[in-house]
Structure 1
């Protein structure tokens, strides 16, 4: 088998191994997310039950008990409990939607992992190929065998890192698109809210809440996209090469962003304005992270080209 054929086969096996490793890490990460979401769901369900019981207790108060409570404190307590219950239900719905998404992702990734050769079979083929390449170099140019092996390792590491950076960029761009959709819906909802402040009437109030519902329907997708972006950033952080610094400490981490509380009650214009402010900050963070990833992409690509030139120069003597 000629050297070029050995090289091509190695690259093919390398890509297969990288894909299996990537899919495995995805399954582990999604299952961890699923565990955290199930815990969150259990807490919210327990809290929901507590507030439902409290509201039921207040509603059972007799006419005379209510009459004795002339200052309206009882009704005020009921209203506060009902508002808190509504917030809990919204959060619970978001968690349940994320659970459905996470389970679907686990099923999809595990189906991909079931296809093709397993890891042990791939590693066995890689070992056989390395033996053939080692024998080839020893036979034709033994003095350069060690140098060539080092260049091959550098090239393989560069290819893997570039792949992870490109995956992160793709995930970040998807998150960016969803955040833009979220911002557009918030703009519309806030416009109706401002109109509502000046006596827009029931129809405007209905439109405002309709837009808020649309925003809430987008939230799980935004959250999932941000989580995927973070997963890809962690993959980038896992691989590094001496010539390129890929430390992601400066990259934004999205795991526990503002979704938990800021979007629970949006009946007034000021709350929508606060939500917009947070989304704008999120947009800036994602944009900054994408810019840094693009710089890393260029650096790794340049490094890869230089390694390839060194390989070609060395191989010309074989």
Structure 2
């Protein structure tokens, strides 16, 4: 590769990778230091308040004629005043020590920030060098370029698949939450219905009806999200079969729940049927989400491996 810039690029890449590691290490140190400074500020503020309080108490004692008379009466004036002054002095020492440590920490932060500034563009320089080297390889080495092309193509496919999975997961999670809310309201309606049948009166009936109305809203919401979930899953290429809840047969009980001619025991039966339907769809939705998460983790692992291989080709080429 005489006359090629690969040798120089490799030297620069090594330096950039060292700078990047240095940068990341300093960023971690700076984050820990920021947390320590925040805690130390609280210590300084607390010790300053204590110092002020102790100093004020010593001054008040020294200025109080009544306190002087009382303690002198028993011969303890000097001891009492000395104790207060000693406590104030100790509080001042602790405040000074806390303030000094805070100053040292803030100075250390300035030094770290200055060191970070020197390598702030390490990741940008590394990316620029890798792009330049990658472009040269594609132009001058057809075999390696083909391998890189295959890797980058698969990385692009994985990225698209992960986006589709993300959209499906969001739709599925929204459906799951709506189903959970519907289940909660139906359980409450069932309990109030039982109480109503045992003579709970108008209040129990009103609460039961209210819970049924709320459950109806949540089920309609779940139906909407389940349809979206099913549509999103059509775009996901799964490695295993995903059990998709079928929304066509999903109970839309709101249409007949409020038939004034049906008896209480029939209403209770329909609430139980609705609970069974919601529970079944909730189980299927949860199962589908679990499979999606497994698929996403598998794809994320494959993507990381492909990116690592691509980087090794570019970074190690000509070394």
- TM value normalised by structure 2: 0.51
2:72 paired residue number: none
Q: Following the alignment from structure 2 to structure 1, what is the Cα–Cα distance between the partners of residues 247 and 292?
A: 19
RMSD, matched Cα = 2.6
Gap runs ≥5 in structure 2: 1-8, 10-131, 259-263
1:182 paired residue number: 182
Q: Following the alignment from structure 1 to structure 2, what is the Cα–Cα distance between the partners of residues 204 and 302?
A: 54
Shift of 1:153: 0.7
1:196 paired residue number: 196
Q: Following the alignment from structure 1 to structure 2, what is the Cα–Cα distance between the partners of residues 278 and 308?
A: 45
1:210 paired residue number: 210
Gap runs ≥5 in structure 1: 4-131, 238-245
- Residues 262 and 248 (structure 1), Cα distance of their counterparts in 2 relative to 1, 3 Å cut: farther
The answer to whether the aligner puts 1:293 opposite 2:292 as a matched pair is yes
2:244 paired residue number: 252
Q: Following the alignment from structure 1 to structure 2, what is the Cα–Cα distance between the partners of residues 133 and 274?
A: 65
How do 1:55-204 residues align onto structure 2 when only pairs under 5 Å count? 136-204=136-204
> CA offsets per residue over residues 188-243 of structure 1, 9 Å max, x none?
11111101111222222122112211112222211111112112211213xxxxxx
> CA offsets per residue over residues 160-193 of structure 1, 9 Å max, x none?
1112112222222221111111111101111111
- Residues 294 and 135 (structure 1), Cα distance of their counterparts in 2 relative to 1, 3 Å cut: closer
Look up the SS of the partner of 1:252 in the other structure: coil
Q: Following the alignment from structure 1 to structure 2, what is the Cα–Cα distance between the partners of residues 261 and 216?
A: 7
- Residues 223 and 291 (structure 1), Cα distance of their counterparts in 2 relative to 1, 3 Å cut: same
- Residues 135 and 207 (structure 1), Cα distance of their counterparts in 2 relative to 1, 3 Å cut: closer
Look up the SS of the partner of 1:205 in the other structure: helix
1:302 paired residue number: 301
How do 1:264-303 residues align onto structure 2 when only pairs under 5 Å count? 264-265=256-257, 268-303=267-302
Q: Following the alignment from structure 1 to structure 2, what is the Cα–Cα distance between the partners of residues 260 and 247?
A: 33
Greater shift in the superposed pair: 196-205 or 261-270: 261-270
- Residues 175 and 133 (structure 1), Cα distance of their counterparts in 2 relative to 1, 3 Å cut: farther
Look up the SS of the partner of 2:256 in the other structure: coil
Q: Answer with 1 or 2: which has the greater Rg.
A: 2
Q: Following the alignment from structure 1 to structure 2, what is the Cα–Cα distance between the partners of residues 249 and 314?
A: 36
- Residues 161 and 274 (structure 1), Cα distance of their counterparts in 2 relative to 1, 3 Å cut: same
> CA offsets per residue over residues 239-285 of structure 1, 9 Å max, x none?
xxxxxxx1464321433141346863375212111111111111111
Q: Following the alignment from structure 1 to structure 2, what is the Cα–Cα distance between the partners of residues 217 and 199?
A: 27
Determine if contact 1:233/1:248 at 8 Å carries over to the other structure: no
Q: Following the alignment from structure 1 to structure 2, what is the Cα–Cα distance between the partners of residues 149 and 288?
A: 36
Structure 1 stretches of 4+ with a deviation exceeding 6 A read: 132-135
